[in-house]
Structure 1
């Protein structure tokens, strides 16, 4: 198992925990809605690269500390860099972020994202390109970049363009918010699990995969034991 990665500068913004053959990754800036900093992305990228080559790591689980999964990149820091004229730091941030998003999308080992809470902007780029995207009744998705003159990046042109009809264009252009049930209905999420069952499902994954070979079918089977049946709200455009 690769060694834990910590940052003294930013008080362990990402926590790494080895549980048998599973690496648990926790975004650890709850007061800042787990917004991604350069240091966080650098830690994630370095650790994921190490673990992809580590035969002891058979599954990665990613979650957020507190009530938010990840509300995006740390825009405040980026604006401070730009106001100081430090554009190389801004470029480095986006280069590192997009490199990590691509790594997740092409990762050799299974990655399960537990999206319990808000997932927006860079947080969506972090998770929407993975094969297992689990949402709850607390999940809120949005790409709010348009509200401050930006455009959806972080792979959004890939995962939004694959939604039914023009729903992806609608989300990208308006920054509209949708909940976990709607994410499941349109294909942004792969599974819906009630928040009260998330910890039990996580434990079941760790326990089962410690003694069995890791295949996507095994992971899907375990997750399906905990899935709920969310109800789409009245007036939802996805409700048929």
Structure 2
């Protein structure tokens, strides 16, 4: 029985290692995101499995927009199982290490002793789930973008909408499309099937089977940091 203690940033591979454990404990310092589309990759490491099982189309939203979630939001959407203040985390870790059983009910009861109730901030995207479901349930990336644009025209530009649109417009178009299809397929597949697909797709990215977007995106975002990768890609 595995317990993940998440007391900081968990993105990409870190999310893949922790999100599929039985217990996922977060704190007020926790930050979750899957920002791979911004560097020309896609949310892999089983993300199509654990994000597709979030409420409604929240998983599509997270993967397409790279939105960061705090600990409270992770608990409320189901990415985390417990919220424990960071000041109590060492005590919890020591208590877990002293256990001589892997019984689920025993571990649950122990973690519950350190758990606190959390509340969402008013600007949390989880409080906009109805609109997110309406927009991100569309069949294509283009339709999702168009739906967000229409929502802004009708109801005004909320910050989360403009951030989502800007992020998608600046991200790799191929990566956006791959993630949308991947998360939709992952909704009815096992974790093993999702990981196998992730591996196959990642190999094609590394081999540059379709394009050079991953290498160019990594250069622009992680190394040179000129943030011009997507402009260059669209000019090709």
TM-score grouping bracket, smaller chain normalisation: 0.5 to 0.7
Secondary structure of 1:218's counterpart equals helix
Aligned pairs for 1:61-72 (under 5 A) are none
Of 102, 105, 114, the residue aligned with 1:214 is 102
The corresponding residue for 2:112 is 224
Does 2:38 match 1:147? yes
Does 2:235 match 1:235? no
Secondary structure of 1:134's counterpart equals strand
Cα distance between partner residues in 2 of 1:231 and 1:162: 21
Structure 2: give runs of 5+ residues left out of the alignment: 129-236
Secondary structure of 2:125's counterpart equals coil
Larger C-alpha radius of gyration, 1 or 2? 2
Aligned pairs for 1:68-217 (under 5 A) are 110-207=1-98, 209-210=99-100, 213-217=101-105
Q: Across the two proteins, how many residue pairs are aligned to each other?
A: 128
Aligned pairs for 1:48-59 (under 5 A) are none
Secondary structure of 2:3's counterpart equals strand
- RMSD of aligned Cα (Å): 1.2
Cα deviation code 1:186-221 (max 9, x no counterpart)? 0000111000000011111222x13xx330110010
TM-score (norm 1): 0.52
Structure 1: give runs of 5+ residues left out of the alignment: 1-109
Cα distance between partner residues in 2 of 1:122 and 1:205: 24
The corresponding residue for 2:159 is none
Cα distance between partner residues in 2 of 1:202 and 1:152: 29
Cα distance between partner residues in 2 of 1:182 and 1:214: 28
Q: CA deviation at 1:237?
A: 2.9
State the structure with bigger RCO (CA 8 A, min sep 6), 1 or 2: 2
Cα distance between partner residues in 1 of 2:83 and 2:118: 7
- The structure whose residues are more often helix, as a share, is 2
Runs of 4+ in 1 over 6 A off after TM superposition: none
Q: CA deviation at 1:235?
A: 2.1
- The structure whose residues are more often strand, as a share, is 1
Cα distance between partner residues in 2 of 1:125 and 1:203: 24
TM-score (norm 2): 0.53
Secondary structure of 2:4's counterpart equals strand
